[in-house]
Amino acid sequence: MDATLLSTDAGQVEVSDRGDGPPVLVLHGSPGGIDVAELMGRFLRIRGFRVIAISRPGYLGTPLRPGNRDPEGQADLAAAVLDELGVERAGVLGWSGAGPMAYSLAALHPARVAALALVAAVSRPDDWQPGVMDRLLFDTAAGRFTIRQTLRWLPSTIIDIGLAAQGNLTNAERHELLAAVEADPRRRDFTLDLVAALAAAGSRSAGTANDQRVFAELGDLPLAAITTPTLLIHGDADIAVELADSQFAAQQITGARLVVVPRGTHMCLFADERDRALQDLVADFLGAELSRRAVMPGL
Indicate the DSSP class of residue 8: E
Indicate the DSSP class of residue 61: T
Report pLDDT digits (tens) over 110-149: 999 999 999 999 999 987 665 544 554 556 666 667 777 7
Report pLDDT digits (tens) over 62-73: 999 999 999 999
Can you tell me the distance from the alpha carbon of 138 to that of 142, in angstroms, rounded to the nearest whole number? 9
Q: What pLDDT is attached to residue 132?
A: 41
Q: Is 77 exposed, middle or buried (0-12, 13-18, 19+ CB in 10 A)?
A: buried
Candidate from 139-143, 226-230, 260-264 with smallest mean pLDDT: 139-143
Q: What pLDDT is attached to residue 139?
A: 62
* Position 1 pLDDT exceeds 90: no
Nearest to 147 by CA among 184, 191, 178, 186: 191
* Position 290 pLDDT exceeds 80: yes
Report pLDDT digits (tens) over 46-63: 999 999 999 999 999 999
CATH numeric code, 4-128+203-295: 3.40.50.1820
Can you tell me the distance from the alpha carbon of 8 to that of 214, in angstroms, rounded to the nearest whole number? 23
